[in-house]
Amino acid sequence: VEIYDLAGRLTRQLHKSVESIGIRAQSWDGRDDGGRLVPPGVYVLRVSGQTDGIAAEQVRVLRVAY
Protein backbone atom coordinates (compact mmCIF):
# COMPACT_ATOMS: atom_id res chain seq x y z
CA VAL A 1 0.00 0.00 0.00
CA GLU A 2 1.65 3.21 -1.20
CA ILE A 3 0.56 6.83 -1.49
CA TYR A 4 2.06 9.15 -4.11
CA ASP A 5 1.73 12.86 -4.78
CA LEU A 6 0.76 13.98 -8.28
CA ALA A 7 4.43 14.45 -9.20
CA GLY A 8 4.88 10.69 -8.70
CA ARG A 9 6.91 10.96 -5.50
CA LEU A 10 6.28 8.31 -2.86
CA THR A 11 4.66 10.13 0.05
CA ARG A 12 3.88 7.23 2.36
CA GLN A 13 4.32 3.49 2.36
CA LEU A 14 1.68 2.06 4.64
CA HIS A 15 2.27 -1.63 4.35
CA LYS A 16 4.91 -3.85 2.80
CA SER A 17 4.95 -7.44 3.98
CA VAL A 18 3.71 -10.90 3.18
CA GLU A 19 0.26 -11.64 4.56
CA SER A 20 -1.95 -14.68 4.62
CA ILE A 21 -5.16 -14.74 2.62
CA GLY A 22 -8.01 -12.66 4.00
CA ILE A 23 -9.57 -9.24 4.19
CA ARG A 24 -7.38 -6.44 5.57
CA ALA A 25 -8.15 -2.87 6.62
CA GLN A 26 -5.60 -0.06 6.52
CA SER A 27 -6.03 3.62 7.30
CA TRP A 28 -3.91 6.65 6.52
CA ASP A 29 -3.58 9.55 8.95
CA GLY A 30 -2.60 12.11 6.26
CA ARG A 31 1.07 12.02 7.22
CA ASP A 32 4.14 11.32 5.12
CA ASP A 33 6.85 8.78 6.01
CA GLY A 34 8.57 11.48 8.13
CA GLY A 35 5.44 11.98 10.28
CA ARG A 36 4.52 15.39 8.82
CA LEU A 37 1.01 16.22 7.65
CA VAL A 38 0.89 16.30 3.86
CA PRO A 39 -0.35 19.47 2.15
CA PRO A 40 -4.02 19.49 1.11
CA GLY A 41 -4.48 18.20 -2.41
CA VAL A 42 -4.88 15.11 -4.54
CA TYR A 43 -2.88 11.93 -3.96
CA VAL A 44 -2.74 8.52 -5.61
CA LEU A 45 -3.26 5.34 -3.61
CA ARG A 46 -1.69 2.17 -5.08
CA VAL A 47 -2.47 -1.26 -3.67
CA SER A 48 -0.72 -4.26 -5.18
CA GLY A 49 -0.29 -7.89 -4.35
CA GLN A 50 0.61 -11.27 -5.71
CA THR A 51 -0.50 -14.78 -4.95
CA ASP A 52 0.18 -18.06 -6.72
CA GLY A 53 1.94 -16.19 -9.53
CA ILE A 54 -1.01 -13.88 -10.19
CA ALA A 55 -0.38 -10.16 -9.67
CA ALA A 56 -3.11 -7.61 -9.00
CA GLU A 57 -3.04 -3.85 -8.59
CA GLN A 58 -5.60 -1.16 -7.89
CA VAL A 59 -5.08 2.58 -8.12
CA ARG A 60 -7.40 5.14 -6.55
CA VAL A 61 -7.43 8.91 -6.11
CA LEU A 62 -7.41 10.39 -2.59
CA ARG A 63 -8.35 13.95 -1.75
CA VAL A 64 -6.86 15.52 1.37
CA ALA A 65 -8.46 18.59 2.95
CA TYR A 66 -8.07 20.11 6.43
Contact 19, 25 (CB under 8 A): no
pTM, whole model, 2 decimals? Answer: 0.80
Whole-angstrom distance between the N-terminal and C-terminal Cα of the chain?
23
Asked if 40 and 65 touch (Cβ cutoff 8 Å), the reply is yes
pLDDT of residue 17: 65
Q: pLDDT tens across 39-61, in order?
A: 999 999 999 888 788 899 999 99
Answer whether residue 15 shows pLDDT above 80.
Answer: no
